[in-house]
Chain A
């Protein structure tokens, strides 16, 4: 793989990851949000694969495959199941409305880029310069976590944060040790399963996945 193709692929992959993060704030339909998450997982796998191929790093290539399976296929499928059973599968009333969320996302992106500027300028490699994308994806995930009402959007927010961190890790060190990545991925998988169980319970008891209704449980 020649260098310019490598740099372009890497850049595109990172851009796709941030774009998917923005899309999760943009769209209301939970299915669309989960789809964006799946695409983001695939993009993450692509980034890992590119890095692995370029650096002849077998471990990273395996991680890429695992990421693809876990984040691109398994997790989205699991979440889609939850969504399928939810009648009103739309994020109708986020705490911060959609245009304001998008403007906030813009601000967060700027923040990520300027905050990690010192880091990324130092890292003169093509991959090091892309770290801001990971930060941006992470911050947007946090924002989704803080402002979305539906349990599913919350899971997605968490996964965005996770993907962002994973991206930063890939880019910064050109590969986390395989075992760490596996552990992290397993953790996330576990969380998703637990949340799915919780969500199912919530739906049975409350008839919806709106987290605000949990506040009414105290009596």
Chain B
């Protein structure tokens, strides 16, 4: 009960933050608002942690808040883990905001929307009825849309991103609503408990329809291929704290929706549902990582990598459903644990990466990797934080990304040869997809770190970059610290995740893994000792450093020019750029990426053997956008042209339409009557 009150209090505080944001004068607006948001997050997480600790659902109902239906909230352990996840990103994002606000995020509408957006994110996982859920979902969607459009006055790209995001998110919401409505129509109630109790008795066809509608709806929010197109447009254009929240938290809520429908409301489904989920996951992971490896815009790279990470989560989710459907509940639970751990990890490192990318943008005025370079010396702290977060997303031990991928790999490994033909094909393919994704992610993030932060500055902006304000560094540091802690000591988060999984899959029985200092899987052989691994790595590094120092005869390190084969002039332009770095990958995957390459050679007037200038451009377009969305857009445009002819602005024509309509109606009545 207390958690229920906390839940309500949290939202109240958060909404106050929104009001504060809108009302207060400029110097006070952001700090007060951010503090209130952070407080709300802490209050909500306390409620969520209470739920996770006791396993008791926290309820709160009010008929005063939403007209007609009333609002009802119920925080289950599954929802609670998502509340914690949101809070993990929202608190740093709010702190970051304090430093970031002068760069175009201090206007009243923006500040207000930001607070409402976070409120929406925090409470969506607690929604316990269709009306409440859809209301909060839309609140979250609309405010995030407003935030994406923050820069629309100055940048054409932001406007276009807003249109893409707005359309896809609302079509997605329509799918979700349809799924809910079908379910509610068959259940005779709109609370989730009512839906849940009636859903199992439905005909398989209806259940499948509901699941597929929900999958499309929530998949579009989660940025799953082929609904990912808004991510690489909206995430880069949104202000960085918003990108961090959208990518770390909002996208995760899309996955929450799929788990909610697939595992909780519908209570699992046949194998083919989960094969679809798994396939979508594998395709998203590969597609996202491939495009991330080929992006030169830092935030676009991060956005594509979100598609990649969510792909891995869906891979785990699909495997989980597959195992549960074939009667391996324990293994199914393990995969779901892997999915949630991947998701929580993603919130941490992707949040940190987006915040650090925002700092880079603030400091240099650009996000284009081909114009960055040398930032680790200009911005040592932000650079180091980005480096650690990047290592984490590359699943480097002993950071948190590694634990997630290990869990996923183990669950897949033990899922081979369960006797289901489809599963036997799916699992090795999933492992291959996981591996190639991991490799391409490393390419993408070594590129981002190496080209962006190492080497020499490639533009004047990067040359004069200065370290960002403390609040921005601190908040990024907070997330990076979480990455390290969750990697070295995953037992900090695993019990909570496990509680959530057992609540979502009540048939599991005992826990799928034992988590002490060693992470031990139950009923299958698999052990990981992350803490020991971390300690031994640190010891080994210390030993090697000591050995190098002890054995070396000459202690002084001489600083020299870089070796350029004796050239007199070695400039920053001779470095590899992000484009050239990705070129081998681009060539290997030529058939998938279909890059557009232009070479312009202009000769001097006197002779065509002497070249005056040469320019080379290469651009990778999103082939799914080209093949799937552009035809639709073109068709809509044609239809629009047609509709325009119906609207000439002549009063007579409109009256004639009315007359025709009346006549047709009468004819119909006459014929039928």
Query: Do chains A and B make direct contact within the complex (CB under 8 angstroms)?
Result: yes
Interface 0/1 of B472-505, CB less than 8 Å to A: 0000000000000000000000000000000000
Is residue B612 contacting chain A, with contact meaning CB distance below 8 A?
no
Contact present for B421 and A114 (CB under 8 Å): yes
Which among A100, A110, A111 is the interface contact of B591 at CB below 8 angstroms? A100
Is residue B425 contacting chain A, with contact meaning CB distance below 8 A?
yes
Tell me how far the C-beta of A112 lies from the nearest C-beta in chain B, rounded to whole angstroms: 11
Is residue B625 contacting chain A, with contact meaning CB distance below 8 A?
no
Is residue A117 contacting chain B, with contact meaning CB distance below 8 A?
yes
Is residue B424 contacting chain A, with contact meaning CB distance below 8 A?
yes
Total residues of chain B contacting the partner, CB 8 A: 8
Please report the C-alpha to C-alpha distance between residue A117 and residue B421 in the assembled complex, in whole angstroms.
Answer: 8
Interface 0/1 of B575-604, CB less than 8 Å to A: 000000000000010010000000000000
Tell me how far the C-beta of B465 lies from the nearest C-beta in chain A, rounded to whole angstroms: 41
Q: Which residues from chain A contact B429 at a C-beta distance below 8 Å?
A: 110
Look across to chain A and name the residue whose beta carbon is closest to the beta carbon of B432: A106
Please report the C-alpha to C-alpha distance between residue A89 and residue B424 in the assembled complex, in whole angstroms.
Answer: 39
Contact present for B591 and A114 (CB under 8 Å): no
Tell me how far the C-beta of A174 lies from the nearest C-beta in chain B, rounded to whole angstroms: 26
Look across to chain B and name the residue whose beta carbon is closest to the beta carbon of A118: B421
Tell me how far the C-beta of A103 lies from the nearest C-beta in chain B, rounded to whole angstroms: 9
Q: Which residues from chain B contact A100 at a C-beta distance below 8 Å?
A: 591
Q: Which of B398-444 contact A (CB under 8 A)?
A: 421-422, 424-425, 428-429
Q: Which residues from chain A contact B591 at a C-beta distance below 8 Å?
A: 97, 100
Look across to chain B and name the residue whose beta carbon is closest to the beta carbon of A115: B421
Q: Which residues from chain B contact A117 at a C-beta distance below 8 Å?
A: 421, 424
Tell me how far the C-beta of A33 lies from the nearest C-beta in chain B, rounded to whole angstroms: 24
Please report the C-alpha to C-alpha distance between residue A35 and residue B425 in the assembled complex, in whole angstroms.
Answer: 31
Please report the C-alpha to C-alpha distance between residue A113 and residue B588 in the assembled complex, in whole angstroms.
Answer: 29
Look across to chain A and name the residue whose beta carbon is closest to the beta carbon of B424: A114
Q: Which of A63-112 contact B (CB under 8 A)?
A: 97, 99-100, 110-111
Please report the C-alpha to C-alpha distance between residue A111 and residue B422 in the assembled complex, in whole angstroms.
Answer: 10
Please report the C-alpha to C-alpha distance between residue A110 and residue B591 in the assembled complex, in whole angstroms.
Answer: 23
Q: Which residues from chain B contact A111 at a C-beta distance below 8 Å?
A: 425
Please report the C-alpha to C-alpha distance between residue A114 and residue B422 in the assembled complex, in whole angstroms.
Answer: 8
Tell me how far the C-beta of B542 lies from the nearest C-beta in chain A, rounded to whole angstroms: 43
Tell me how far the C-beta of B278 lies from the nearest C-beta in chain A, rounded to whole angstroms: 15
Please report the C-alpha to C-alpha distance between residue A100 and residue B590 in the assembled complex, in whole angstroms.
Answer: 11
Q: Which residues from chain B contact A110 at a C-beta distance below 8 Å?
A: 425, 428-429
Please report the C-alpha to C-alpha distance between residue A117 and residue B424 in the assembled complex, in whole angstroms.
Answer: 11
Tell me how far the C-beta of B654 lies from the nearest C-beta in chain A, rounded to whole angstroms: 58
Please report the C-alpha to C-alpha distance between residue A111 and residue B425 in the assembled complex, in whole angstroms.
Answer: 8
Look across to chain A and name the residue whose beta carbon is closest to the beta carbon of B591: A100
Please report the C-alpha to C-alpha distance between residue A117 and residue B429 in the assembled complex, in whole angstroms.
Answer: 18
Please report the C-alpha to C-alpha distance between residue A99 and residue B424 in the assembled complex, in whole angstroms.
Answer: 23
Please report the C-alpha to C-alpha distance between residue A99 and residue B589 in the assembled complex, in whole angstroms.
Answer: 10
Look across to chain B and name the residue whose beta carbon is closest to the beta carbon of A111: B425
Look across to chain A and name the residue whose beta carbon is closest to the beta carbon of B423: A114
Please report the C-alpha to C-alpha distance between residue A18 and residue B588 in the assembled complex, in whole angstroms.
Answer: 26
Q: Which of A161-213 contact B (CB under 8 A)?
A: none
Tell me how far the C-beta of B279 lies from the nearest C-beta in chain A, rounded to whole angstroms: 13
Q: Which residues from chain B contact A99 at a C-beta distance below 8 Å?
A: 588
Look across to chain A and name the residue whose beta carbon is closest to the beta carbon of B421: A114
Tell me how far the C-beta of A97 lies from the nearest C-beta in chain B, rounded to whole angstroms: 8
9 closest Cβ pairs, A-B complex: A114-B421, A110-B425, A114-B425, A117-B421, A114-B424, A100-B591, A110-B428, A110-B429, A114-B422
Given contacts A111-B425, A113-B424, A117-B421, 11 further A-B contacts (CB under 8 A): A97-B591, A99-B588, A100-B591, A110-B425, A110-B428, A110-B429, A114-B421, A114-B422, A114-B424, A114-B425, A117-B424
Give 14 A-B contacts (CB < 8 Å), ordered by A residue. Answer: A97-B591, A99-B588, A100-B591, A110-B425, A110-B428, A110-B429, A111-B425, A113-B424, A114-B421, A114-B422, A114-B424, A114-B425, A117-B421, A117-B424
